[in-house]
């Protein structure tokens, strides 16, 4: 799967399905699935490292997650998140971060918002690297937003998000994530741009969807936004397996002769 394949699917009006992934073993399973793209998101800070926001993520941890996913999913198009502030310091520093992620094996990078890093986005694109934008509820702005809240509900915010998406297209991005915005806004951006629009909490009138793998598999989560659909209940499956193992050990049932040398 490469960028041309994705563009072809988009041109054929085929919906695209993206999931996040952060580790080698999950990536091996995802590689066997029909998932179109994998996002190594900075949501890893929360679901892999237990942080309560994405701000603590840094480029070294992102690099290690990207490497693991690239090894596990060699057949997938892999997009890596630019972590908090890595694209806000200078073109040089931003390009160093991009280099780290691309040399770890990513095929594209994603960064949040657009104001103030237009030049960097252009520089990345002109360096031959596909860029995915991200507007709406951009989690790195949580302190400005005052929490994980739907964006674009009032006129000013609606128009701003729409303008940002148009700007991302002008800067040469191939795609944009629309996170937690009214369906009407997502639909409008999808109609008005050639960007591959990927929604999360943005309704169905977009070109594709993304979910955090841990959310859709039903890992324990402190908060459960209504845009998540649970396809599995791994919390209970894992807990049952863990307890069965404990029981077998306590009873002396495990290991059996065939599990011993």
Which two structure tokens, joined as six digits, stand for 21?
Answer: 């992934």
Instruction: Calculate Rg over the CA atoms of the chain.
Output: 20
Options 14, 118, 179, 192, the catalytic residue: 179
- Output the known binding site for Mg(2+): 42, 81, 112
Q: Based on the shown chain and the rule CB under 6 A, indicate whether residue 177 belongs to the binding site for ligand KIV.
A: yes
- Output the known binding site: 42-43, 81, 110, 112
Q: Catalytic residue at 179?
A: yes
Q: How far is the CB of 248 from ligand KIV (least distance, A)?
A: 36
Q: Based on the shown chain and the rule CB under 5 A, indicate whether residue 215 belongs to the binding site for Na ion.
A: no
Going 87 to 150 to 80 to 194, the CA torsion angle's sign is negative
Q: Based on the shown chain and the rule CB under 6 A, indicate whether residue 215 belongs to the binding site for ligand KIV.
A: no
Q: What character string, x for contact with ligand KIV (CB under 6 A) and - otherwise, covers 75-114?
A: ------x---------------------------------
Q: Based on the shown chain and the rule CB under 5 A, indicate whether residue 81 belongs to the binding site for Na ion.
A: yes
Q: Closer CB to Na ion, residue 81 or residue 207? A: 81
Reported as half-sphere exposure (CB side, CA atoms, 13 A), residue 166 has a value of 10
Q: Which of 21, 27, 42, 77 binds ligand KIV (CB under 6 A)?
A: 42
Q: Which of 41, 105, 133, 218 binds Na ion (CB under 5 A)?
A: 41
Query: Binding partner of residue 80 among ligand KIV, Na ion, none, CB under 5 to 8 Å per kind?
Result: none
In this chain, which stretch among 8-16, 39-47, 101-109, 147-155 interacts with ligand KIV, using CB under 6 A?
A: 39-47
Q: Based on the shown chain and the rule CB under 5 A, indicate whether residue 42 belongs to the binding site for Na ion.
A: yes
């Amino acid at each position: 799967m490469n960028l041309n394949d994705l563009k072809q699917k988009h041109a054929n009006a085929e919906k695209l399905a993206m999931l996040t992934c952060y580790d080698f073993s999950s990536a091996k399973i995802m590689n066997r699935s029909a998932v179109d793209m994998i996002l190594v998101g900075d949501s890893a800070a929360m679901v892999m490292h237990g942080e309560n926001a994405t701000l603590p993520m840094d480029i070294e941890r992102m690099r290690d997650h990207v490497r693991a996913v690239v090894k596990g999913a060699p057949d997938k198009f892999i997009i890596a998140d630019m972590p908090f502030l890595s694209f806000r310091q200078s073109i040089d520093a931003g390009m160093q971060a991009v280099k780290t992620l691309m040399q770890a094996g990513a095929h594209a990078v994603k960064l949040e918002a657009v104001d103030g890093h237009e030049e960097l986005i252009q520089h990345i694109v002109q360096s031959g690297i596909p860029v995915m934008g991200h507007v709406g509820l951009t989690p790195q702005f949580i302190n400005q937003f005052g929490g994980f809240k739907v964006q674009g509900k009032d006129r000013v915010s609606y128009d701003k998000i729409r303008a940002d998406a148009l700007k991302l297209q002008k800067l040469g991005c191939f795609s944009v994530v629309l996170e937690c915005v009214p369906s009407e806004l997502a639909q409008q951006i999808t109609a008005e741009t050639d960007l591959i629009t990927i929604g999360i909490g943005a309704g169905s009138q977009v070109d594709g969807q993304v979910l955090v793998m841990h959310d859709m598999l039903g890992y324990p989560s402190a908060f459960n936004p209504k845009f998540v659909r649970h396809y599995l209940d791994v919390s209970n499956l894992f807990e049952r397996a863990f307890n069965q193992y404990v029981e077998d050990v306590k009873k002396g049932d495990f290991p059996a002769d065939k599990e011993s040398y």
